[in-house]
Every structure is written in C-alpha cells, then in structure tokens.
Amino acid sequence: KQEVTQIPAALSVPEGENLVLNCSFTDSAIYNLQWFRQDPGKGLTSLLLIQSSQREQTSGRLNASLDKSSGRSTLYIAASQPGDSATYLCAVRPIRDDKIIFGKGTRLHILP
Amino acid sequence: EAQVTQNPRYLITVTGKKLTVTCSQNMNHEYMSWYRQDPGLGLRQIYYSMNVEVTDKGDVPEGYKVSRKEKRNFPLILESPSPNQTSLYFCASSLASGTGHNEQFFGPGTRLTVL
C-alpha cells in the first residue's frame, strides 16, 4: 500500500533563507506527484505537478524535483518570505489504483 | 473561470439528520473525489469517481454515500451523520487517471460540525 511521508512536520526559518521540504513515498509506480499549499482553514492551492517522466518543475521561486527510484520529492523555496508561511502538502497518484495519497504536510513558518 | 465549487461552506447539524454537500466543476473533468481533513490525520480520500455512474471507495468511506449522475456534479451524502464526521471536507477534480497530466483542482472546503 502506498504511503506518503513528509518530514519535518513543522519548520521555522528566518526570512530570506532558501529551504527544502521533503516528501517520500513507498511505491515508485506513480503517474505524478503534486505539491500544494494550504493556508489555515483554507483550501488547497496547487503549486507544481511533476509527471513521472519528469525530473523537476519550476514556478517562480519554487522548484520541485522528483526521484522515482528512491521514492523522494523535494520542494525548494528560494529567498523565503513571510507570505510563504503555510502548510505544504504533497500527493501522489499511484498507477496500481486510482486513489490519491497525501502526506500529512509540513507546516512552514517564515520568521520576519 | 475554471473552478470547483462546494456548498454549503459551513454547516452545523445534529446527529442523525441527513445532509448533502454539493460539489460541481466546470472543467469537464472525468475524475472527482471527496476528502476529509482532520488534525493529525491529514487529508484522507472518502470516495472517488472515474466518470459518470462510476464510483469507488477511498480509504474512509464508512458513513458516506456519493453519486455521479452528471459529469460536473459529485454530491456527498451523509445519511445519518455522527459527531465523528465533524471535519473539513474538500471536493477535487482532475482529468482522468491513467495519465501524468491530471492535476487536481480543489474546492474551497466545507466545514461540517455534527452535534
């Protein structure tokens, strides 16, 4: 059964620093991996989608990488800002069934 | 504007009173699903639908029903709500599974409280 893990559960970083969020999954047979941002009490905003054939995707200050063989993805945030404070979630779409599996997220706090 | 809408956004009800949360998308997506989000447990899939008249159980289907009579709508039905169904619910849609291009789009959420 596919499992998705995000470590750490929470992270505090001073403003301006570059940072990396981690997502690991147990079954490499996936169609894609998607990163989301969620503000407290709000819905999910899609940040980046990496298809299984891709190694990375970039959007502005965000860069997501995917290493299927090792079951890992990272979300790199450059020059962090207080507005980046949120919970970041990753989700995988397995090939073996049609369920979508989420990690529990990393709660990020950027210190002004 | 491409979007997923849910109604109501907030609902307080009592144990045993049947309720329906509606979900609609305007992107002609085949795949739709419902999630619940609880502190410490993250997002868990309740039901999903690959297309009209095709629905399947997710990881936590007990106490819920769904239907998919039209492509754009995917209502979530709680026949006899209980307090343990108090949660934040999200509907999502995407193109069909089976490709890597199926980015999920989420609705704004429905906060349900069952007393």
pLDDT in tens, chain B (115 residues): 889 999 999 999 999 999 999 999 999 999 999 999 999 899 999 999 999 999 999 999 999 999 999 999 999 999 999 999 999 999 999 987 666 668 899 999 999 999 9
* Residues of chain A scoring pLDDT < 50: none
pLDDT tens digit sequence for B64-95: 999 999 999 999 999 999 999 999 999 999 98
Measured between alpha carbons, how far is B88 from B38 in angstroms, rounded to an integer? 7
pLDDT confidence of residue B32: 95
User: Buried b vs exposed e over A86-100: b needs ≥16 C-beta within 10 Å?
Assistant: bbbbbbbbbbeebbb
pLDDT confidence of residue A1: 85
CB pair distance less than 8 Å for B42 and A52: no
In this complex, is the C-beta atom of A1 within 8 Å of any C-beta atom belonging to chain B?
no
Going from the C-alpha of B40 to that of each of A9, A105, A110, B37, B106, the distances in angstroms are 10, 10, 22, 9, 20
CB pair distance less than 8 Å for B108 and A100: no
pLDDT confidence of residue B96: 79
Amino acid identity, position B107: G
In this complex, is the C-beta atom of A51 within 8 Å of any C-beta atom belonging to chain B?
yes
In this complex, is the C-beta atom of B51 within 8 Å of any C-beta atom belonging to chain A?
no
Residues 6+ apart with CB under 8 A from B78: B18, B19, B20, B21, B63, B64, B65, B85
